[in-house]
Each structure stands twice: as C-alpha cells, then as structure tokens.
Amino acid sequence: MTIEPIGFIAILLGFMVVYHGSRWAITALCLSTLLGAAAAFQLPALGSSSIQPSHLMLFFAALGVILRPRPKQATIESLAYPGPGFWFAAYVLFSVVSAFFLPRIFAGATLVYSSARNTAGLTSVMASPLAPGSSNLTQSVYLLGDLVCFAVISGLARLGHGRFIAHQLVLTALVCLGFAVVDIGTFSIGAPELLDFIRNANYTMHTAEVIGGFKRIVGSFPEASAYGTVALALFCFTLILWLERFPSRVTGFATVAVGLTVILCTSTTAYVAGLFMMCVAILLSLKRLVTGQATRPYATFLLITLFMVPCIIMAIALIPTLWNAMSALADVTFARKLQSQSGEERTAWNTLALISFVETSTFGAGLGTVRSSSFVAALLSNVGLTGTVLFLLFLYSLLMAAARSKLISRENRAIGIAAVFASVAQIASATISGSSTDLGLLFSITAGLASGCLAVPYALPRRMNRPQRTPASLMSTPVFSPR
C-alpha cells in the first residue's frame, strides 16, 4: 500500500473531523465526493485499486459518530424498520453475502465481462468464465461504505442537521462549478497537468477530449460522464431548493451555473438523464400549479421551460453557424453513440450481463462479478432478482416518505424532496451508463438526507408527543388530597 500526497492531507483533515464533530464531518464528506479522479491510497495487492479521499473521509466521519452517544444512537435508529434505511441495509447486506457465495456456486456456469482488474491495474474487457475475483471484495467494501454513509447522514439529519447538510451540498455544487471552470481554463492555456495532483487514481483519464468543437468538461473526475452524473444530481438538488424557496441566497445562481456545465459537458448520460429529470420537474410544477400550491419560482420555471427555451431554440435555428454546431454535437452524442466502438462495447456488456442473469437461474453471479453498462443490468446480473427487489423496496420506501411529506415542517419537506430528486437523478444516470451496483457516496448522502429529513416526526420519542404540564398547572395541583 502506498500513500499519495493527497492522502496525507486527507488523514490530517480526518483527525480534525473526529475532533471537531458533526459539522466538520458533513462538510468534508460532501466536498470529498467531488474528488472522483483522486486516490489517497494505492493498493497494488488488489489489482492496483485506489482508495479515494471520500472513502477515507467517511471512515473518520463514522469514527466521530461512534465516539459520540447521540449521533451514534440516531445513526442506528436510521436503519430501523420500516424506513428506507432498513431496506437499504437489507439490500447491501444481501449483496455482500452474494459476493462470497454466488461466484463459487455458479463458477464456470456462464461467461461474464469481469469487473476485476488485472496485474497492470486495468479492467478486463474480455469475456471469461464466471469465477471469484478481487472485485467481489472491493465492491463489497464500497457498498458497505455506502450503507455507513447513508446511516451517518440520515442520523445527523434526524438530529436537526438537515439544513446544514443542505447548505453544504449547495457549497459542493459551487465547488463543482469551480472545478469545471478550472478544467476548461487549464485546457485552454495548454496546461492540463496543473490538475494532476487530483487526477492520480489508477483510472483511464479522458481529460483532453473534444467533441464537435466543444471541450468535454470533466472537472475533478476522470471522464465527462462521471462529471455529468454528479453535476446533474447537484443541479437537481439546488433546483428543487430554489423552487421551494429554501433560505439560501445562492441556490438560484448554483442552479443556473451548474446546469450550464451539464449542457456543455457533452455527456450523453447527462443529456438523457437530465431530459428525464426536467420532465419530472415540469410535471411536479404543473401539479403544484393545478393544486394551488405553486410559488413564484414554480411559475417562473414553467415559463422558462415551456416558453422561453423553445423560443431560444427557434432563434438559434436562424443562425446557421450556431445551429450547425449544435446539430453536430447532437449527432455525435445521440445518433452516432450506439454505432461507435464505445456504444457497441457497452451493448455487448449489457447483453452478456442479462444472459448471465438467466444462466444463473435469476440468482445472479454475485456482487462485483459482472461488468455491465447499465445499473439495471448490473443489479440483475450481480445480485439477481432478490437483490433487485430489495433495492426497489428501498426506492419505493424513499418515494413514499416524500409523498407523506405534508406531515413535516416546510423546510424539512423542501430539503427531503430535493434530496429525493437528486437521488432519482443519480439512479437515472446509472441506468444509462452505470457499470456496477455501487451508486457512490453522493447518492448515499442525498438518500440519507432524504430519509432523515422526511422521517423526523417518526424519530421523536413517544413521550415527546404527550402533553406536558406547565409550571402554573403544577403550582395549582394540591400536594396532599383532603380526607
């Protein structure tokens, strides 16, 4: 194991997180999710795998929670039945068990594109017979980390830190925007190596690609697709906060600015998932408008999306240069995507993954065994029908918590709905191009925030709901009863 320079910085920050407590932990954890191309540790013994700074921050955040009784108790309660945390824990634990047993039970029963890394640290792209590998262990660790992150954030939200977590996610959106600007700037001046200190992970870096004359924005991530997924989730979060009038002065700016980078990142995944999420946001706004619950931001959003955007597109169509550039970009990112080498390769991954699902009698090949290019195909081929149903129960429980949000305070409802919206955006992105069942720590943060904020009334002790006697009533109560 080798420690990278950024690893020493992360360790030092981690000790400060343990000392200072919850607020430092929340801030460090949220911001560290942006370092998707960085490695704090390199593990040559596990196929040159990398430990990212976000997982190191998660370790220190969890340690800080364990050392404090109230956060520890709230973290445990966040996984209680029948809340979303219970179903997420069931899904993760079943997946971890499947990683040990299923690759051995169905060894050699089917061909798979393995998720394991070879001795050079590169992921295999050749189909091979099903067999256990190092990725069974690494994917199990990642998924357990997701569960711990979910429980920690959900527990802290139950203790009243929901507003602070929301503010830190807005800050994360602004920092994500900053990384995008720096990425474009360093590429423009011909000095992309200036960001090498946060691009030291053992991944293939696609940091200098150009499509249709547009530089693909990668920010602090290894590729445009990863940036688009995170930026879209943060855009969706800030959008709902702005629509719900969350008390923050920068949500509107963050929404517009990050949304522009999503458009300019030239990621097919971000475009398709973003179009789906915009349709959902429009339907939500129309529902609020019909029921009389729409605020002024909802009306402004409908005006922009249903009237101004089509007018802008028609205006651009009158300018041949801009229209040709946009048409070329759309042709490359949509029309030619499936016919490209990458598109054909990803189609082959998904096809063989679904064949593995059938040939393992719907049990799946075990967590971390099968590589695919869709979260749905990854679920079915790795954890089978049982794991897929458990995840769907978790998602259903999260959506139902949002549907019951009228029972909680307006602020918690706004934060909870925004977090659910961001979580669904990440699932939509992963459904298009996700290679594994690990949705990442940012998903655990948003899902945990939604679970904690939307479950606040149910987390209160039963004695808190009983009417308490006031001092005046105590004074009027006789101490001794007359005979």
Residue-wise pLDDT tens digits, 162-212: 999 999 999 999 999 999 999 999 988 888 888 888 888 877 788 888 876
Q: Is the pLDDT of residue 39 over 70?
A: yes
Mean pLDDT of the chain: 85
Is 131 in contact with 107 (CB distance < 8 Å)?
A: yes
Neighbours of 332 (CB within 10 A): 16
Identify the band that residue 480 occupies on the pLDDT scale cut at 50, 70 and 90. very low
DSSP single-letter state for residue 307? I
3-state secondary structure of 41: strand
pLDDT digits (tens, 9 = 90+) for 338-363: 666 677 778 888 899 999 999 999 99
Measured distance CA(204)–CA(464) in Å, rounded? 54
Q: Which residues contact 428 (CB under 8 A, 6 or more apart)?
A: 272, 273, 276, 277
Residue 48 burial by Cβ neighbours in a 10 Å radius (0-12, 13-18, 19+): middle
Q: Which residues contact 363 (CB under 8 A, 6 or more apart)?
A: 98, 102, 105, 106, 384, 385, 386
pLDDT value at position 18?
Answer: 92
Q: Specify the long-range contacts of residues 339-345, CB closer than 8 Å, at least 24 apart.
A: 345/125, 345/373
pLDDT value at position 168?
Answer: 96
Judged by average pLDDT, the poorest of 238-247, 301-310, 312-321 is 312-321
Averaged pLDDT for residues 251-265 = 92
Q: Across the strands, what pairs with 231?
A: none
Nearest to 136 by CA among 107, 101, 110, 99: 99
Q: Across the strands, what pairs with 452?
A: none
Cis ω for the linkage preceding 5 (within 30 of 0): no
Neighbours of 198 (CB within 10 A): 20
3-state secondary structure of 36: coil
Instruction: Specify the higher pLDDT residue, 217 or 202.
Output: 217
Q: Is the pLDDT of residue 261 over 90?
A: yes
pLDDT digits (tens, 9 = 90+) for 115-133: 655 544 445 567 788 888 8
Is 406 in contact with 197 (CB distance < 8 Å)?
A: no
pLDDT value at position 48?
Answer: 63
DSSP 156-201: HIIIIIHHHHHHHHHHHHHHHHHHHHHHHHHHHTT-GGGGGGG--S
DSSP single-letter state for residue 373? S
Residue 64 burial by Cβ neighbours in a 10 Å radius (0-12, 13-18, 19+): buried
Instruction: Specify the higher pLDDT residue, 199 or 143.
Output: 143
Residues of the chain with pLDDT > 90, as a percent, come to: 51
Is 69 in contact with 155 (CB distance < 8 Å)?
A: no
Q: Is the pLDDT of residue 257 over 50?
A: yes
Q: Is the pLDDT of residue 150 over 70?
A: yes
Phi, psi of 48 (to 5 degrees): 60, 35
pLDDT digits (tens, 9 = 90+) for 41-97: 877 666 667 788 999 999 999 999 999 999 999 999 999 988 999 999 999 999 999
Measured distance CA(246)–CA(252) in Å, rounded? 10
Measured distance CA(32)–CA(238) in Å, rounded? 18
pLDDT value at position 141?
Answer: 92
Identify the band that residue 337 occupies on the pLDDT scale cut at 50, 70 and 90. low
Nearest to 199 by CA among 158, 177, 239, 227: 227
Measured distance CA(153)–CA(421) in Å, rounded? 17
pLDDT value at position 47?
Answer: 60
Q: Is the pLDDT of residue 465 over 60?
A: no
